[in-house]
Amino acid sequence: MPSDNPGPAGPAAVLCGLAGWVPPRVVTNDDLAARLDTDETWIRTRTGIRRRHVVEPGQATSDLAVEAGRRALRSSGSETADAVIVTTTTPDRPCPATAPVVAARLGLAGAAAFDVGAVCTGFVYGLATAAGLIAAGVARRVLLIGADTYSTVVDPLDRGNAIIFGDGAGAVVLRAGDADESGAVGPFDLGSDGAHEDLVTIAAGGSRQRSTGAEPTHAERHFAMRGKEVYRHAVTRMAASARTVLTDAGWKTDDVDHFVPHQANLRILHSVADDLALPRERCVANIEAVGNTGAASIPLALADAVAERRLRPGDRLLLTAFGGGLTWGSCLTTWPESAPRPQPERTTR
């Protein structure tokens, strides 16, 4: 999106609910080292991750999305929404979308419901989509859920990816309001470069593979990532995107109280913060406890920051994400005055 984007003409989208949920089962680095050619120290020092949560057999992305969505609605003080967006790379099935069943299970049948796919950038794309629905007058309250179950697509014997990813869901509620209210989201910067589609893939299950008529191989059925190349793109694209929204809003880097990046790898997060000349202490990170949870990672990090009483009304936030596609995006917001109500404890312990 060009940086001369004039912004929405209608009502602004204002944050009024937030929650995260991770499945109870924990996989530690030691658990992984027991079955893979890796060790606890390598994982911790190269990624910042100590443990992650994974689903039980039979549990699907929608199950996590419903838990996070219900808690987010509750935290907003109202159980209603007229649109439900689920952003995910691991939908329950290729068809139908996951959002309608999530909406129905939350008692929101009748609401507009659809999925957004932008891999690990999904939450920022979803925020922009929700803001667009509100600005266009299509919806007054939107429930946006980022949910992923990477444990269902990563080959458990792939040491490059099995160590990074975890399962989880995070959700926010946005209501129609004014652009100058605290909690209003925007401006946004969104971008993509499909020339690098092969860096992050699940080759099988879509029309490209199915139209061949051939049975997919083991590798094609699983998530694949060229980690080192992705790493380099992640740092440069996230930093550039962050700079674009800061410039659009007229904020200086020092105006940012909390940098909330997609939790890809702690080293990536710190490199982006360093590149932006942001003190690392302003970086909100819970990757240690949850790993990389894809589209869930930003709202899960926010939920944990709220539970730790780290975010104060009026604080300025910079959200930045990067993912397969390639895709990237950033958004600014201020922390709302009243809701979302803080949760009693971190969701991810």
Catalytic residues: 120, 262, 292
Residues 6+ apart with CB under 8 A from 34: none
| Nearest CB to ligand UT7, comparing residues 82 and 229 | 229
Decide if residue 216 touches ligand UT7 (CB under 6 A): no
Instruction: Choose among 221, 195, 228, 185: nearest CA to 206.
Output: 221
Question: How far is the C-alpha of 140 from the C-alpha of 142, rounded, in Å?
Answer: 7
Contact status, residue 276 vs residue 239, Cβ threshold 8 Å: yes
Q: Which of 16, 101, 120, 174 binds ligand UT7 (CB under 6 A)?
A: 120
Name the one range near ligand UT7 by CB under 6 A: 12-20, 228-236, 238-246, 307-315: 228-236
Beta bridge partners of 258: 317
Helix, strand or coil for residue 155?
Answer: coil
Beta carbon of residue 51, minimum distance to ligand UT7 (angstroms, whole number): 15
Beta carbon of residue 295, minimum distance to ligand UT7 (angstroms, whole number): 10
Beta bridge partners of 328: 191, 322
Question: How far is the C-alpha of 66 from the C-alpha of 76, rounded, in Å?
Answer: 15
Q: Position 154: which residue type?
A: V
CB-based closest residue to ligand UT7? 227
Q: How big is the site for ligand UT7, counted in residues (CB under 6 A)?
A: 20
Name the one range near ligand UT7 by CB under 6 A: 8-16, 78-86, 223-231, 327-335: 223-231
Decide if residue 159 touches ligand UT7 (CB under 6 A): yes
Name the one range near ligand UT7 by CB under 6 A: 5-13, 39-47, 186-194, 276-284: 39-47
Decide if residue 156 touches ligand UT7 (CB under 6 A): no
Q: Cα 300 to the chain's mean position, in Å?
A: 8
Decide if residue 23 touches ligand UT7 (CB under 6 A): no
Question: How far is the C-alpha of 207 from the C-alpha of 159, rounded, in Å?
Answer: 28
Question: How far is the C-alpha of 270 from the C-alpha of 129, rounded, in Å?
Answer: 28
For ligand UT7, the binding residues in 265-304 under the rule CB under 6 A are 265, 268, 292
Residues 6+ apart with CB under 8 A from 281: none
Decide if residue 227 touches ligand UT7 (CB under 6 A): yes
For ligand UT7, the binding residues in 47-66 under the rule CB under 6 A are 47
Q: What are phi and psi of 173, to 5 degrees?
A: -115, 135
Decide if residue 264 touches ligand UT7 (CB under 6 A): yes
Decide if residue 38 touches ligand UT7 (CB under 6 A): yes
Decide if residue 163 touches ligand UT7 (CB under 6 A): yes
| Nearest CB to ligand UT7, comparing residues 153 and 164 | 164
Would you state the structure tokens that stand for residue 43, as one six-digit string?
Answer: 């994982």
Q: What are phi and psi of 145, to 5 degrees?
A: -125, 125
Binding site for ligand UT7 (CB under 6 A): 38, 42, 46-47, 120, 159-160, 163-164, 227-228, 230-231, 234, 264-265, 268, 292, 322-323
